């Protein structure tokens, strides 16, 4: 299972970075989404894949009665997912607006005109 996940993470990172290196804005965002998913899986994998009960110490004991699953990685991943949800939504609105204003999807054609300055 670890090996499978490790390979998946590798593929996600590689394809994410490849997509980010393309010139299209849409592909850049797809690349960022893939990278984000890769990171989430990385945290999941590095938080150890164990089967176990909830990490609650029963009454009257000092240590865990049985093997427990670490609750922190899922909290981290959930937070990361929520944040990337917001950022991706923003990114989609941003490229849509860029496409409307600039009229291109090509990063190379994004060049600015220095003459019209506003405060």
Partner 1 sequence: MTQLILLPILFQACLAVLLLFFYTKTKTQKVLSIAGSSVNLVIASLLFYTVWVNGSMSVQAGNWSAPFGITFVADTLAVTMVLLTAIVGFAVSVFSAFTIARDRLRFGYFSILHFLLMGLAGSFLTGDIFNLYVWFEIILISSFVLLTIGSEKKQLEGAVKYFALNMLASIMFLTALGILYGLTGTLNMADLSGKVAALENRGLVNVCALFFFIGFGIKAALFPLYAWLPDSYHAPPTAVTAIFSGLLTKVAVYALIRVFSVVFVVDEFFSQLFIILAVITIFSGGIGALVQTNIRKFFSYLIICHIGYMIIGLGLFNEIALAGMVFYLIHDVVIKTNLFLISGVIVKIKGTSDMRKLGDIYNDYPKLALLFALSLFSLIGIPPLSGFWPKVSLILGGMEADNYLTVGFILFGSFITLVVVAKLWAQVFWKSSANLEEHEDFSYFNKLRKRRKVAILFPVVFLTLVTLYIGFGAESVNTLATRIAGELINVQPYIDTVMGK
Partner 2 sequence: MNSIILRTATNYILPLLLMFSVFILLRGHYLPGGGFVGGLIAAVAFVLHMFAHGLEKTRELLVIHPGYLLPFGLSLALLSGFAPVFFTGEPFMTGVWMENPIPVIGKVGSALFFDLGVYLVVFGVSLTIIFTISEDA
Q: Which stretch binds partner 2 (CB under 8 A): 15-23, 27-35, 60-68, 89-97?
A: 89-97
According to DSSP, residue 47 is labeled T
Q: By C-beta, is 14 or 82 nearer to partner 2? A: 82
Burial of 39 (0-12, 13-18, 19+ CB in 10 A): middle
Among candidate residues 1, 23, 8, 9, the one with its CA nearest the CA of residue 105: 23
89 binds, among partner 2, partner 1, none (CB under 5 to 8 A by kind): partner 2
Enter the tokens of residue 14: 């590689």
39 in contact with partner 1 (CB under 8 A): yes
Helices assigned H by DSSP within the chain? 2-20, 25-46, 72-102
35 in contact with partner 1 (CB under 8 A): yes
Enter the tokens of residue 40: 């989430």
21 in contact with partner 2 (CB under 8 A): no
Q: Shortest Cβ distance from residue 15 to partner 1 (Å)? A: 14
Among candidate residues 74, 67, 83, the one with its CA nearest the CA of residue 41: 74
106: phi then psi, degrees, rounded to nearest 5: -95, 125
Q: What does the binding site for partner 1 look like in residue numbers (CB under 8 A)?
A: 20, 25, 28, 32, 35-36, 39, 42-43, 45-48, 70, 72-73, 76, 79-80, 83, 86-87, 90-91, 94-95, 97-98, 101-102, 107, 110-119
Q: What does the binding site for partner 2 look like in residue numbers (CB under 8 A)?
A: 78, 82, 86, 89, 92-93, 96
């Amino acid at each position: 299972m670890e090996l499978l996940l490790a390979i998946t993470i590798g593929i996600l990172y590689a394809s994410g970075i490849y997509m980010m290196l393309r010139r299209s804005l849409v592909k850049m965002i797809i690349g960022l989404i893939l990278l984000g998913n890769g990171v989430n899986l990385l945290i999941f994998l590095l938080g150890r894949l164990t089967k176990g009960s909830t990490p609650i110490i029963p009454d009257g004991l000092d240590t865990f009665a049985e093997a427990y699953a670490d609750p922190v990685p899922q909290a981290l991943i959930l937070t990361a997912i929520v944040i990337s949800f917001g950022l991706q939504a923003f990114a989609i609105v941003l490229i849509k607006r860029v496409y409307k204003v600039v009229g291109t999807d090509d990063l190379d054609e994004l060049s600015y005109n220095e003459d019209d300055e506003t405060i």
